[in-house]
């Protein structure tokens, strides 16, 4: 969905896990996720972007923003959004190179399933994706920016969020995802751009938190690049507005 189709506004959920994340349900596949009532979504698996290609191929009726959720050395989660799959995959490669090998029991910790363009399970990732990488917060933000991405502190006000883990928001990005209305209001007063997304791990969670873009924000074309540009400018509404 790259051309403006004339709707007044577009719903976006920019934090969704596929079946590649060990903590996500095995039903988190394109044929399920892309039937939900959101127009724009981002697949943000833990420490990898390897399932995004299947969503780009199979979800032609949605705008798919290539993404990743990186688990930093400090136990903080940071989201990266990219204009192209190639950029997301380059970051995913670097993240993989900075992750210690850790074989695991999928029956205990969850399966990490790779999809092909026919939505078939074609393999697994053997190293566990649920542990921190060797990348610091600063290194993670710099890596995302190096490949033209937008860095966002994920669910900052709950577990593995920067505020919850560190008590502060580090420098590097002024864009933050939160879970609570009160946190949203406080951060806006300090000049932050605040997102609300579901962090969905099961189908019923998709769209439970979202943001809204007005039609005129896209100037006739809706794609991952224009979505990222509008986020960086704060040109959207949250569920609390």
Our measurement of the distance from residue 92's CA atom to the centroid of its chain's CA atoms, rounded to an integer in Å, reads 13
* Residue 56 to residue 30: CA distance in whole angstroms: 9
Domains and CATH numbers, the chain: 9-238 (3.20.20.140)
Transcribe 83-118 into DSSP letters.
SSHHHHHHHHHHHHHTS---B--HHHH---EEE-TT
Q: Give pLDDT, residue 104.
A: 86
Mean pLDDT of the chain: 95
Does 17 score more than 70 pLDDT?
A: yes
Sort strands 63-71 and 77-81 into parallel, antiparallel or unpaired: antiparallel
Q: What is the DSSP letter of 231?
A: H
- In the structure encoding, which two tokens stand for residue 161, read together? 């969020």
pLDDT tens track for 20-51: 999 999 999 999 999 999 999 999 999 999 99
Of the candidates 139, 109, 120, 118, the one whose C-alpha atom is nearest the C-alpha of residue 46 is: 109
pLDDT of residue 103: 82
């Amino acid at each position: 969905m790259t051309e403006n189709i004339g709707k007044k506004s577009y719903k976006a959920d920019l934090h969704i896990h596929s079946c590649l994340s060990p903590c996500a349900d095995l039903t988190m596949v394109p044929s399920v996720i892309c039937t939900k009532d959101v127009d724009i979504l981002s697949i943000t698996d833990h420490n990898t972007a390897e399932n995004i290609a299947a969503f780009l191929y199979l979800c032609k009726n949605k705008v798919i923003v290539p993404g990743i959720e990186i688990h930093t050395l400090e136990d903080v989660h940071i989201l990266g959004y990219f204009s192209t799959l190639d950029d997301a995959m380059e970051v995913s490669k670097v993240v993989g190179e900075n992750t210690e090998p850790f074989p695991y029991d999928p029956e205990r910790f969850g399966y990490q399933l790779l999809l092909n363009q026919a939505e078939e399970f074609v393999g697994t990732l053997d190293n566990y994706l649920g542990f921190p990488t060797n990348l610091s917060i600063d290194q993670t933000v710099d890596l995302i920016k190096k490949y033209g991405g937008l860095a966002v502190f994920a669910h900052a006000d709950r577990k593995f969020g920067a505020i919850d883990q560190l008590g502060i928001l580090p420098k590097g990005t002024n864009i933050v995802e939160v879970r609570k209305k009160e946190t949203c209001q406080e951060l806006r007063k300090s000049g932050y751009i605040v997102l609300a997304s579901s962090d969905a791990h099961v189908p019923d969670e998709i769209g439970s938190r979202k943001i809204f873009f007005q039609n005129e924000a896209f100037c006739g074309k809706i794609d991952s690049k224009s979505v990222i540009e509008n986020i960086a400018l704060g040109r959207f509404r949250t569920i609390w507005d």
